[in-house]
Amino acid sequence: MENNVRPADMRRINTQELAEAFIADQVEKVRAQVGDKKVLLALSGGVDSSVVAALLIKAVGKQLVCVHVNHGLMRKGESEQVIEVFKNQLDANLIYVDATDRFLDLLAGVDEPERKRKIIGGEFIKVFDEEARKLEGITFLAQGTIYPDILESDGVKAHHNVGGLPEDMHFELVEPVKLLFKDEVRVVGKALGLPDSMVERQPFPGPGLGVRCLGAITRDRLAALRESDAILREEFAKADLADKVWQFFTVVPDFRSTGVRNGKRAFDWPVIIRAVNTVDAMTATVPQLPWAVLETVTSRILAEVPGVCRVLYDLTPKPIGTIEWE
């Protein structure tokens, strides 16, 4: 892939001044690349795609068409929040596509992590291609690729934002933040005037809950994953931990564990809590969470989430373990 190596002399963007210089440079480059054509953007609502959206709105305005695809692998209430923030509050040119059944049917029985990522990423491209055919003048596909995506695609794992475009794809890529690390993207987002709730939003992988519902995805385990994740986020917010832990989520593996519920044997899934702190997502440490918070989260998950009989906390730093399980 061309121009995917960060220059050795590129300064780390950690100030408002450096961010504004980067924005001015990228606005000029995007305008030169796009001209009077339209750009299609996958808008997940995460910090990467949100910053790209803000940059492109600044550069080409209404030439940007944002598409939010609900692949059935979003966190609880997330698609609704994306619509509220971007369509209702930011007045973005937003198209909403509910492709839940389409994605889950394709993923049925697929248990190999890289195959899952490729299927999800490939189907995203197809959805955008279909949406582009409904519109006139779409020439470019914008993506929220950042530098760790590129680095980790070289021998670690596939990222939906990197490579894999089919030969008959008629889009040219626009990737204005592809040489930035996550902390730099946040600085740029703040310089663009995006709200803190958006800029500091929890990182979320392109394949969504698909890489946290381990092995072959089933709808019942996916539901358990979505509910347990929502409980974790609620309790972290109550304990004032949401701004102190860089990323936190739950994982539901594709095996069961023996338990006892109401005096009877249970054979249900475990839920694994994952929480990490990092600056650039290349290395990560595991925080020592308050025991009372872990107890509350555990109690709520066991009481409120059907099909779960055990809760665990993952203590593995990066490296050796990656932040995500798959």
The closest of 131, 144, 46 to 93, measured between CA atoms, is: 131
What SS3 string covers 282-314?
Answer: CCEECCCCCHHHHHHHHHHHHHHCCCEEEEEEC
Tens of pLDDT along the chain (326 residues) come to 458 899 999 999 999 999 999 999 999 999 999 999 999 888 988 899 999 999 999 999 989 999 898 999 999 988 887 888 778 877 889 999 999 999 999 999 999 999 999 999 889 888 877 887 888 888 898 999 999 888 877 644 444 454 445 556 578 999 999 999 999 999 999 999 888 878 888 878 879 999 999 999 999 999 999 999 999 999 999 999 998 999 999 999 999 999 999 999 999 999 999 999 998 889 999 999 999 999 999 999 999 999 999 999 999 999 999 999 99
Q: Which pLDDT score is estimated for 200?
A: 82
Output phi, psi for 38, to 5 deg: -100, 150
Any idea where the domains of the chain sit in the sequence? 16-199, 212-313
- pTM summary value: 0.77
Q: How many CB atoms lie within 10 A of CB 245?
A: 16
pLDDT of the residue at 162: 47
Confidence at residue 124, expressed as pLDDT on a 0 to 100 scale: 83
* Residues paired with residue 39 on neighbouring β-strands, in sequence order: 64, 140
Quote the strand ranges of 149-283, DSSP E.
172-174, 247-251, 257-261, 264-276
pLDDT of residue 225: 98
Task: Give residue 85's pLDDT.
Answer: 74
Other beta carbons within 10 angstroms of residue 71's beta carbon come to 25
What is the domain class of 212-313 according to CATH? alpha beta
Q: Which CATH class is domain 16-199?
A: alpha beta
Domains 16-199 and 212-313 share a fold: no
Residue 164 has what pLDDT? Answer: 47
* Cα(295)–Cα(305) distance, integer angstroms: 15
SS3 string of 76-110? CCHHHHHHHHHHHHCCCCEEEEECHHHHHHHHCCC
Secondary structure E strands in the chain: 38-42, 64-70, 94-98, 138-142, 172-174, 247-251, 257-261, 264-276, 308-313
- Note the pLDDT of residue 157: 46
Instruction: Give how far the C-alpha of residue 141 lies from the chain's centroid of Cα atoms, to the nearest Å.
Output: 18
pLDDT at position 163, please?
A: 46
